Amino acid sequence: MTDVQTTSPAARRSGVDKFDARRNELAVATLHTLAALGYARTSLREIAQNSEYSHGVLHYYFTDKLDLITHAVRQYEAVCVTRYDDVIARATTADELRDEFATTFIDTLSADTELHRLWYDLRNQSFFDESFRDDVIEIDNNREAMIWRVVSRYAELCETTPAVSPSTAYVAVDGLFQRGLLQFIAGRTESLDALRAELISTFDVLVK
């Protein structure tokens, strides 16, 4: 009688964990390459040519460029959506929260320009490609929740209540960010001062 060798559940979990960890590592490592190339010009082969990883390695861990891009953006957004939590935790006054939020807002726009550009590129592509539309909507909802945490805390520190809905607050702030990003990419760095002033004044209409 032939003995049947089985893999224990713990070993199977370990294998899955290692596979997922490797996917995460590759996604983060290739994120800037993805951001530089953009969605339309990106393929696994092109990413491999612009990174230290072979095409075979990337293809083993990711089905196609969509799989890699979506995973990479999710990795970035996992950090992005908590970026302002420290600002919320530190602030003891409404003005302090508003000003520190504006500073972080401008800093991330200028420091992570290509990554933000990739996000907007991916979001625009989801209008035409439904294969990753659900992922984009989920990420967008997480970003909305991030902004709402800031607005809610600001209203609390002002001892008042928000004057708008979470979606309205998000559209207002995200619209400023997207427009500022475009201006910055166009080389109009002086627009950042104007953006900061406009963002600060926007807080006055977000609460009652």
Q: Reply yes or no on whether the pLDDT at 4 is more than 60.
A: no
The answer to whether 185 and 117 are in contact (CB under 8 A) is yes
Residue 205 contacts residue 163 (beta carbons within 8 Å): yes
Q: Are 162 and 208 in contact (CB under 8 A)?
A: yes
pLDDT for residue 16: 67
| pLDDT above 60 (res 174) | yes
Give the whole-angstrom CA distance, residue 64 versus residue 73.
15
Residue 43's contacts (CB-CB under 8 Å, 6 or more residues apart) are 65
pLDDT digits (tens, 9 = 90+) for 13-35: 566 689 988 898 888 878 878 88
Spatial distance between the Cα atoms of 173 and 147, rounded to a whole number of angstroms: 8
Q: How confident is the model at residue 10 (pLDDT cuts 50, 70, 90)?
A: low
Mean pLDDT, the chain, rounded, equals 87
Instruction: Report, in angstroms and rounded to the nearest whole number, the Rg of the chain calculated over CA atoms.
Output: 21
Spell out the residues 6+ positions from residue 17 whose beta carbon is closer than 8 angstroms to its own: none
Encoding tokens for residue 56? 């075979």
CATH topology of domain 81-208: Tetracycline Repressor; domain 2 (1.10.357)
pLDDT at 72: 82
Q: Rounded mean pLDDT of 149-177? A: 97
CA distances from 151 to 26, 81, 86, 194 (A): 35, 14, 14, 21
pLDDT of residue 177: 97
One-letter identity of residue 205: V
pLDDT band (50, 70, 90) for residue 47? confident
Tens-digit pLDDT profile for residues 107-151: 999 998 988 998 898 899 899 988 888 888 998 999 999 999 999
Query: What is the third-level CATH fold of 8-72?
Result: Arc Repressor Mutant, subunit A (1.10.10)
Of all residues in the chain, the percent with pLDDT exceeding 70 is 92
Q: Where are the domains of the chain?
A: 8-72, 81-208
Does the pLDDT of residue 49 top 90, yes or no? Answer: no
Average pLDDT over residues 162-184: 97
